[in-house]
């Protein structure tokens, strides 16, 4: 006999606020899986629990194989905004919406980008070590500097890029924006200056902050050639996705003093290998891909993810959070 109960698979990182929304529904069964589950174990889980009608994903990859195993997938949701691990065409082929958490984590990532700018400008890590090692007398050789009056180039003016721009404007910085998909009028209305040529703008920037999605167009966007166009006194911040910056090229530029420093929340390989060469550079600060994973962001993302999935199962998807709009009637 066919059951009216819909089955949702949710990763262990889904917040309690999101779980509570799902648990309150008597027509839904919720099954948890580990965030770092292997592809084979995930496939086995889908087949064992099939039919599966929805899934809330952390870092897990999802595509044709998983759709086949689930049998009746109706919605795939990311607990976040990035979706480079999702085969969007495979979902669209089966008219399955891919949904993201909208603006839920954008304030957190914007704050992390600004934090990294400030930490590098104020030499946070270096001065901390200086005091601890008793090198107080050498402090004037490591003078910090102000963000005030500096120029930042924001690459990508979506949910996160726009919020980062607001924070930089509050620091009284000049904000340049490169995003070929956003009208110049919208950028100017936000108090920023639109630039149409990325390479021409790079020599003007004291900081470059990346907020674009990882796509075939942006993979390797900052290679050796592009990094060479930045000022030797400039800093690169990447809180977007690993692979947008070519790490070997970044290392070479930093080692040759062709770039002043970098702040990295993301890496080409995650987790990065132990002893990664960038780790040894004093002008690089790093984080384990947690810019958008604050306590508050987890609550917001979990709640939005649950609402996203439920909206599809209830026949009224939250359209603004659907990536593959072509599946909507």
Q: How many residues does the chain have?
A: 329
Angle at the Cα of 76 from the Cα atoms of 17 and 32, rounded to 5 degrees: 50
The tally of domains found in the chain comes to 2
CATH of residue 75 = 3.40.50.720
Residue 101 within any structural domain of the chain:
no
Q: Are residues 229 and 315 in the same domain?
A: no
Sequence-distant (6+) residues with CB within 8 A of 116 are 237, 239, 263, 265, 285
Identify the band that residue 1 occupies on the pLDDT scale cut at 50, 70 and 90. very low
Sequence-distant (6+) residues with CB within 8 A of 175 are 151, 152, 154, 165, 168, 169, 191, 192, 193
Q: Are residues 36 and 166 in the same domain?
A: no
Identify the band that residue 4 occupies on the pLDDT scale cut at 50, 70 and 90. confident
**Rounded alpha-carbon distances, angstroms, from residue 188 to 3, 177, 260, 311:** 54, 9, 29, 35
Q: Are residues 62 and 149 in the same domain?
A: no
Q: Are residues 14 and 115 in the same domain?
A: no
Residue tagged active-site, from 167, 289, 300, 307: 289
Q: Are residues 155 and 56 in the same domain?
A: no
User: Long-range CB contacts (< 8 A, 24+ apart) of 72-77?
Assistant: 74/6, 74/312, 74/313, 75/99, 75/308, 75/309, 75/312, 75/313, 75/317, 77/101, 77/305, 77/308, 77/309
Q: Are residues 92 and 128 in the same domain?
A: no
Residue 244 within any structural domain of the chain:
yes
pTM of the predicted protein model = 0.85
pLDDT averaged over the chain? Answer: 95
Q: Are residues 91 and 133 in the same domain?
A: no
Residue 48 within any structural domain of the chain:
yes
Kindly state the greatest CA–CA separation across the chain. Answer: 79
Q: Are residues 143 and 244 in the same domain?
A: yes
Q: Are residues 264 and 311 in the same domain?
A: no
Q: Are residues 275 and 318 in the same domain?
A: no
Q: Residue 230: which domain range?
A: 106-286
* pLDDT value, residue 82: 81
Residue 1 within any structural domain of the chain:
no
Residue tagged active-site, from 72, 270, 296, 319: 270
- pLDDT higher than 90, residue 314: yes
Residue tagged active-site, from 241, 247, 303, 307: 241
- Give the phi and the psi of residue 161 in degrees, each rounded to 5: -60, -40
Q: Are residues 35 and 17 in the same domain?
A: yes
The alpha-helical segments, DSSP class H, found in 13-170 are 16-23, 39-49, 64-70, 88-93, 106-121, 124-132, 159-170
**Rounded alpha-carbon distances, angstroms, from residue 173 to 33, 153, 162, 304:** 44, 10, 14, 33
User: Is the separation of the CB atoms in 264 and 287 below 8 Å?
Assistant: yes
pLDDT mean over 249-257: 97
Name the E strands within the chain: 6-11, 28-33, 54-57, 75-78, 98-99, 151-155, 174-178, 193-194, 207-210, 235-238, 261-264, 284-286
Query: Is 289 known to be catalytic?
Result: yes
Q: Are residues 242 and 154 in the same domain?
A: yes
Per-residue pLDDT tens over the stretch 27-42: 999 999 998 899 999 9
* pLDDT value, residue 2: 52
């Amino acid at each position: 006999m066919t059951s009216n109960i819909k089955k949702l698979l949710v990763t262990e990182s889904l917040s309690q606020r999101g779980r509570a929304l799902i648990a309150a529904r008597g027509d839904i069964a919720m099954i948890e899986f580990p965030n770092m589950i292997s592809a084979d174990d995930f496939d086995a889980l889908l087949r064992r629990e099939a039919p599966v009608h929805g899934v809330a994903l952390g870092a897990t990859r999802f595509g044709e194989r998983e759709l086949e195993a689930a049998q009746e997938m109706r919605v795939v949701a990311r607990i976040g905004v990035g979706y480079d691990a999702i085969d969007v065409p495979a979902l669209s082929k089966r008219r399955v919406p891919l949904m993201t958490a909208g603006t839920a984590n954008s304030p957190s990532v914007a704050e992390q980008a600004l934090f990294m700018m400030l930490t590098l400008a104020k030499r946070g890590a270096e001065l901390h070590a200086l005091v601890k090692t008793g090198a107080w007398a050498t402090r004037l050789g490591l003078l910090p500097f102000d963000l005030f009056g500096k120029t930042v180039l924001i690459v990508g003016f979506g949910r996160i890029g726009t919020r980062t721009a607001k924070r930089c404007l509050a620091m009284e910085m000049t904000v340049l924006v490169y995003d070929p998909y956003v009208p110049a009028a919208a950028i100017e209305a936000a108090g920023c200056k639109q630039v149409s040529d990325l390479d021409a703008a790079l020599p003007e920037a004291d900081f470059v902050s990346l907020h674009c999605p990882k796509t075939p167009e942006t993979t390797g966007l900052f290679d050796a050639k592009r990094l060479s166009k930045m000022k030797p006194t400039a800093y690169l911040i990447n809180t977007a996705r690993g692979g947008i910056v070519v790490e070997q090229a970044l290392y070479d530029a930093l080692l040759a003093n062709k770039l002043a420093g970098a702040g990295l929340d993301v890496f080409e390989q995650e987790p990065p290998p132990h002893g990664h060469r960038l780790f040894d550079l004093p002008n690089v600060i790093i984080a384990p891909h947690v810019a958008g994973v604050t306590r508050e962001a987890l609550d917001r993302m979990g709640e939005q993810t649950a609402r996203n999935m439920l909206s599809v199962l209830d026949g009224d998807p939250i359209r603004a959070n659907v990536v593959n709009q072509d599946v909507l009637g």
